[in-house]
Structure 1
């Protein structure tokens, strides 16, 4: 309990409260600015409109924008539905719908609650139904299409921004990941270098110490030396054997299976053979086959096979002749080393047992094979076949790529860029296609509205006289008429008049300059006739 009270820092708690309070204040300020920006277009709606009911409706809509701005962070579906209803009632609320659509696309996840979505969809459909009953379903639908296109365009723009942001974050994460991979690769390279040095030390020093022990053994049995010299030689041979043992233990700790094969030989094959001959070994070296030059990595592998075979022969069969045969072919080299088994007693050979194993790894790295066996005739044989291709299988960048390799990085980046491009194309194509569809439907609608069944010829219009009865004119007037809401700005009609609208002749399908005739009837008689647009 005391430790908990000691860990409490009043100053830190105070600073945290200050930071939280400042963040809350910034959030309130941003919400207020957003509400003001969305409310301005609605307040500027039809400043010359003297109808007080319109003003009250606009003020109510502006007040509804307050919960819209507040709920945009937690219940965006309700906010979008509210702005959609307001936009259907008054197009000056359309900017709020577009802003909410953009925010929904930028959020990029499905945070909307099913209940909120159902309520929003129900409110929008109900509003469309009410407006359709008042002004006609087709007119209401045509008026709502631009709002739908704008909302979808805003959503696609937000979605594009969201995917672009994801791509940027993924790029930085990939860069950090690659940086860690490069660090790990550098560590692995240092480990391989240490392992290579350790293996070289084992091969070279073990070979040299074995030759020293062999020379000391020769001095130990030399008849022309006194007893003290032979004792010293025996001690030298024992020390050399212990040095080989300690070297094997140390190298066994440093050795790593993934050590990389050097590509250039450090010593010529004849130098290795001459050093062994100088130490007293009997060696018969023969070269057969073609006179071709093998790659440096192949020459080094052949020298290592010969060196390890000579070391094993000196340890396990001292005094026996070693036969080396190198067969050089067009695409590969075969080296065979054989030696007999010593019949006399010998000191136990020391080593860590990794000589032939490491040698086999060196040959396999180059794509070759190595076999070591005791033949039925009592001869130990080591055979290595090394191709001249020179490819380092399993080493360096030629090996199989890991799950975090660069190719996968490039692939992930390409996929993300393609998603962003598809989002941009969709954002541009959807509005264009939607507008084209709306235009086609409007043309079809206008063509039906301006059909000949709603056209009144000029001679019939001129022949109409005020005071004629509607029942008498029904036979000469067209059966259909154009929509009355298209002519809201026409001169006022007589009181208690019922007006009908007909299309004048001329103008064509794609021209809106054709005259429109208005006939107004009061108590069933023609009271006024007007031309609402220029007559052709």
Structure 2
């Protein structure tokens, strides 16, 4: 088998491949309702025949039932085989009952666009239909005059419904893919925030080890002093030894627990355990940072959790300032009032361009972990641009009450922002697609109208006779002499409208005058032939009446 034959075989296999599994009760009910709606024009066409309409094609109950059964088979197959179902109704509409199947064809073409993503297969079927139309025109040139009307019908009953269905399907796929991406981004952002919070809690555990370990070491040292005191009674000496051993054991266990909590990639702490905010600022100043420390109120008696959280705020704020605004002046402000404790680290605009986020070290999660530290201390953290620079502000209650362990962490603002941005991007894309679809539909309508206008013009021009030519004709002239002067197409409206006796007695032919063309101001010429010669020529002022000329 050659390549064309193999390609055709693959196309047939793809055409017969079902798109869906077994139907459910819901899909069966939907298909039943669609079939009932599509069968209504068929029943109405048979009703029109009963009322005496001459154009009705369904003339018996058996034909009507067969047409409804064919539609039922098409709608039953429209889910697994949408393209064959649409082609079946298209063929039936051409050879059986065109009016009764128009609604069904429109519905099935819409469902084809909604259910079948194989656009190439639909395009191949369209090319086959165009080829069949071209063959029909080649075999019968008069079919060409029906092409404009057929084009208009196909545009509105086949192409536009399929485009609408395809557009809606693509929009749903785009929405689903976009929302899945937004959900994945939110999950990744939430995981990153959870990691930053866990890392900060690990730092809190390290701080606990530094503070409690120091106190436990002092306790063990004092207990050892009591144990060695010469005037200590033996029973108290034993209690002091047990106290020293318990303090030493507690210190070792605390170190082990903190070592387990610390992440494997985290380096051992190098900052002094008892370092305060003043020491952090002085160390940054010695490293070349232009930093100033301002205080309002006394810092004595601040709760340990608040003190360590404020220490981390200053430490992280100075780190961010040196990383993202090198050379910019930094101001650290500590404020304590009767209502709250506030810690502010603000820097001005950098003196030189800051490195891009991809060039700066770190994972960009310091503020997330810092917010967790501040929250656990009972406070709130704000960060953002201020006066061309950047500021980090932490506020704590004056009593230093820590947050409950089960309180929620900071909101996922960045994840919500990503979802909002995605929704805006989807709306922009949908607007562009909507404009494209409207433009494509308008172009198709314009092409259809152009075909209709051109076909009408060609139809009128091919059935037009000049009045001078009509006047030159003489009754009694043989047909073989008259026929070369006649247009090659008759004017069909006059043929249908002439209700006189002449068409029944003679071979009458009708032509339109070219006066006022293409307006409605024209006359109709009727030429009647009998036994091979012209027997009468008439001018029909109105296609329904006649006035003999000879």
With the shorter chain as reference, the TM-score category is 0.5 to 0.7
| Structure 1 Cα separation of the partners of residues 254 and 443 of structure 2 | 79
Give the 5 Å matches for 1:129-278.
129-130=135-136, 133=139, 136-150=142-156, 151-166=158-173, 191=198, 194-212=201-219, 226=230, 228=232, 239-256=246-263, 269=276
* Aligned-residue offset at 1:248: 1.0
Which residue is equivalent to 1:438? 448
The structure 2 residue matched to 1:96, chosen from 91, 104, 118, is 104
Please report how far the alpha carbon of residue 257 of structure 1 lies from its aligned counterpart in structure 2 after TM superposition. Answer: 7.1
2: CA distance, partners of 1:121 / 1:41? 33
> How far did residue 63 of structure 1 move?
5.0
C-alpha distance in 2 between matches for 1:485 and 1:41: 28
- In the alignment, structure 1 residue 529 sits paired with structure 2 residue 532: no
Measure, in 2, the Cα distance between the counterparts of 1:172 and 1:473.
75
Q: How much does 1:102 deviate? A: 0.9
Match of 2:478 in 1: 469
SS in 2 for 1:489: helix
Name which one, 1 or 2, has greater alpha-carbon Rg. 1
- 8 Å CA contact 1:482–1:503 kept in 2: the answer is no
Whole-Å separation in 1 of the counterparts to 2:314 and 2:464:
106
Contact 1:292 1:330 in 2 (8 A): no
The equivalent residue for 2:42 is 39
Per the alignment, in what secondary structure is the counterpart of residue 525 of structure 2?
Answer: strand
- Please list every run of 5 or more consecutive structure 1 residues that lacks an aligned counterpart in the other structure: 1-19, 260-265, 274-284, 306-328, 334-360, 367-387
Q: Name the residue aligned to 1:347.
A: none
C-alpha distance after superposition, 1:174-209 (max 9, x if no partner): 787788779868865774564344222112112333
Q: CA deviation at 1:524?
A: 2.4
Please state whether the residue corresponding to 2:163 is helix, strand or coil.
helix
Aligned residues: 411
What does 1:318-329 correspond to in 2, within 5 Å?
A: none
Normalised TM-score (structure 2): 0.56
1:101, CA displacement in angstroms?
A: 0.4
Cα deviation for residue 156 of structure 1 reads 1.9
Distance in 1, matches of 2:315 and 2:466, equals 110
CA RMSD of aligned residues (A): 5.6
2:516 matched to which residue of 1? Answer: 507
Q: Secondary structure at the match of 2:487?
A: coil
Question: Greater CA deviation, 515-524 or 50-59?
Answer: 50-59
Counting only pairs closer than 5 Å after superposition, residues 100-111 of structure 1 correspond to structure 2 as: 100-110=108-118
In structure 2, C-alpha distance between the alignment counterparts of 1:332 and 1:240, rounded to whole Å: 43
8 Å contact kept, 2:463–2:491: no
Shift of 1:97: 1.1
Distance in 2 (CA, whole Å) between partners of 1:448 and 1:107 is 40
Whether 1:300 aligns to 2:314 is: no
Distance 1:130-1:299 versus aligned 2 partners, 3 A rule: closer
Shift of 1:491: 0.9
> Hey, what's the Cα distance between the residues in 1 that align with 2:279 and 2:223?
19
Give the drift of 1:80: 0.9
Task: State the alpha-carbon separation in 2 of the partners of residues 28 and 441 from structure 1.
Answer: 36
Q: Contact 1:192–1:258 (CA<8 Å) still a contact in 2?
A: no
Q: Tell me whether 1:71 sits opposite 2:77 in the alignment.
A: yes
Flag the 1:495–1:132 CA change in 2: closer, same or farther, 3 A. Answer: farther
Q: Which residue of 2 aligns with 1:517?
A: 525
Say if 1:300 and 1:157 are closer, same or farther in 2 by CA, change over 3 A.
Answer: same
Look up the match of 1:358: none
**How many angstroms apart in 1 are the aligned matches of 2:90 and 2:490?**
26
CA contact (8 A) 1:102 1:157 kept: yes
**8 Å contact kept, 2:479–2:533:** yes
The answer on whether the counterparts of 2:292 and 2:330 sit within 8 Å (CA) in structure 1 is no
- Residues 527 and 538, structure 2, Cα contact 8 Å, conserved in 1: yes
Name the structure 1 match of 2:356: none
The answer (yes or no) to whether the contact 2:45–2:56 under 8 Å persists in 1 is no
1: CA distance between counterparts of 2:277 and 2:168?
70
Contact kept in structure 1, 2:511 and 2:526, CA below 8 Å: yes
Q: Distance in 2 between matches of 1:291 and 1:21?
A: 71
